[in-house]
Structure 1
């Protein structure tokens, strides 16, 4: 499932490609991927300019000139492609937004969706999200206050969107490895120096993943060399039985609270 770095990469690239452009046509192939009647969706969205694209947690928010917002959550297996008709992937398209001869294709929206909301409804929908871990105002003191009463495991706490927004299964493992903490450690057991390293690791790992374009294995457009550049840079995730980049020990894969989890037992404590 795309997490904060992947959605941040999409946000940056889509703002470059379609920010300020007008949606000239809308095609809906799967009505379950939207939340209103197709006729209403098309009527409200067609001929509207996309003023900007914002990311919140794992969501993308397409702000339309008329005040409505398209809220995208890709969930598991969904992705996007932007290009000409002859360039589109040979895959079923659930939704298509057209910009003249160029189109934004939404692919694999079986669990994911593109919903249409008024501005106040969006705020209601996202109100329970935790702080953005890369926000300039999310300081070490803010983090220490946030974890002060937490007693759960590191793994399950990190993927809780009410705790911090945007971190999922993959980056929770990457962060725990970078902080040299076992993912099953309890939050209330962490010592002062471990808490500081934990905070720093969250920011370092996410910023590095954004720098290299996240892990998505499909390009956003023809010639896209940014998307997916982090995939071969992971520390532990998806690297079962491979050598740890820090100590050379073998990467272990286990399940913690039904989530597959990768870690190094030698250098994570």
Structure 2
């Protein structure tokens, strides 16, 4: 599932291509992926201009000049592509938004969605999300306070979107590795020093992953060499049995609360 770096990568690439562009048409091939009748969706979008693209947690928000918003959550398996008719992806496309210079294709929206909402509705839908990882108000102290009262393990708490928005399976493990603590550590047992390391590691890992284009499996546009670049740079995630890049010990793959976890038993402490 796309996480903070993937959605930030999409936001930046899309802003370059569709911010200020007028929508010339839309097509819906799977009505369950949207929240209004297809005919209404297509009619309300056609002729509108995308003012800008915003990123919130694992969501993208397309701001339209009529005050409406398109709220996107790709969930598991969702992908985006932008290109001409000739560059259309060889995949099942659920929604297409057309511009004079190309089309935005939404694929894999079996669990994900693209909803047309008012500004008020969008705010309400996102109200329960925690702060963004790079919110200036999220200090090391307030970061630690977000986990207050949590009695379980670190990873399930870290991927709770009401705690911090945008961190999921991959980056929770990568952040824990960077901080030297196992994702299985009990939250109440984590020391103040380790919380500070987790806070710093969150910024280090997410900045690095974003700079490398995240781990999405396909480019957004023809010639896009950025998207998916982090795939080759994961330190522990999806590397079960492979040697740790720091110490050479085999990376452990386990399951915790129905989620895969990856960690180095040598470099990461249980606390």
The reply to whether TM is greater than 0.5 is yes
Match in the other structure for 1:60 = 60
Match in the other structure for 1:229 = 229
The runs of at least 4 aligned residues of structure 1 exceeding 6 Å deviation read: none
Q: How does 1:40-59 map to 2 (within 5 A)?
A: 40-59=40-59
Q: Deviations over 1:204-246 (max 9, x none)?
A: 1111111111001100000111111111000001111111011
Contact 1:133–1:202 (Cα < 8 Å) also in 2: yes
Match in the other structure for 2:91 = 91
Q: TM-score, normalised by structure 1?
A: 0.98
Contact 1:147–1:187 (Cα < 8 Å) also in 2: yes
Match in the other structure for 1:143 = 143
Match in the other structure for 1:238 = 238
Match in the other structure for 2:217 = 217
Contact 1:129–1:161 (Cα < 8 Å) also in 2: yes
Contact 2:34–2:116 (Cα < 8 Å) also in 1: yes
Distance 1:213 1:14 in 2: 13
1:249 positional shift: 0.4
Q: How does 1:66-77 map to 2 (within 5 A)?
A: 66-77=66-77
Q: Deviations over 1:125-161 (max 9, x none)?
A: 0000011111122111211222333322111011100
Runs of 5+ consecutive residues of structure 2 not aligned to the other structure: none
Q: Deviations over 1:6-33 (max 9, x none)?
A: 0000000000011100110100000000
Contact 1:85–1:101 (Cα < 8 Å) also in 2: no
* Count of equivalent residues: 269
Contact 1:22–1:50 (Cα < 8 Å) also in 2: yes
Match in the other structure for 1:201 = 201
1:201 positional shift: 0.7
1:101 positional shift: 4.5
Q: What is the SS of the residue equivalent to 2:67?
A: coil
Match in the other structure for 1:265 = 265
CA RMSD of aligned residues (A): 0.9
Contact 1:54–1:61 (Cα < 8 Å) also in 2: yes
Match in the other structure for 2:184 = 184
Runs of 5+ consecutive residues of structure 1 not aligned to the other structure: none
Distance 1:113 1:200 in 2: 33
Contact 1:251–1:265 (Cα < 8 Å) also in 2: yes
1:113 positional shift: 0.8
